[in-house]
Amino acid sequence: MLHSEFSEDDAIFMRQALELAAYASSLNEVPVGAVLVRDNTIIGEGWNAPISNHDASHHAEIAAIRDACNAIQNYRLPGTTLYVTLEPCTMCFGAIIHARIERVIFAAKEPRAGVLESQLRLPEATFYNHQLTVVGGLHADESATLLQQFFQARRSASPQKSE
């Protein structure tokens, strides 16, 4: 059952983001996926790939924003919604603001580094020249499970340090 703040379309687009997160995991990247939507059409998608791309900025959100900007040939993305499987970090929030994304829907909270709700609550700051709507929790359990399984597998594959 969907939370009253989410539509059936929101659920469909978050499912796509979750598929991209699973793809990232298959590349041994932290499983985060993102899709950017305008007028019920995906215009950009991305997944975490900083390791395989040798690029610290290659977070799912940044990749989706780049993909969308290229697709529409504009660095501004008004009227769009970003669906992402994990609460964005500071870097990604900056890109979201600069791109003028209207709405962000995220799945799981990121208690250590998430800046939309968990830590700095940056969307509440009044000094930005762009304001956005943020809603979290859509398919949070599925996203959290993907992340937990990924990190459990990573820990079990790492040789234990002996003292």
CB 2 within 8 A of CB 107: no
For tokens 């890109």, the residue is: 95
Q: Which residue has the higher pLDDT, 5 or 74?
A: 74
Catalytic site positions = 61
Contacts (Cβ under 8 Å, ≥6 apart) of 101: 36, 65, 77, 80, 81, 82, 132
Mean of pLDDT values over 144-157? 96
Per-residue pLDDT reduced to its tens digit, 60-85: 999 999 999 999 999 999 999 999 99
Per-residue pLDDT reduced to its tens digit, 27-54: 999 999 999 999 999 999 999 999 999 9
By DSSP bridging, strand 80-86 and strand 33-38 are antiparallel
Average pLDDT score over the chain: 95
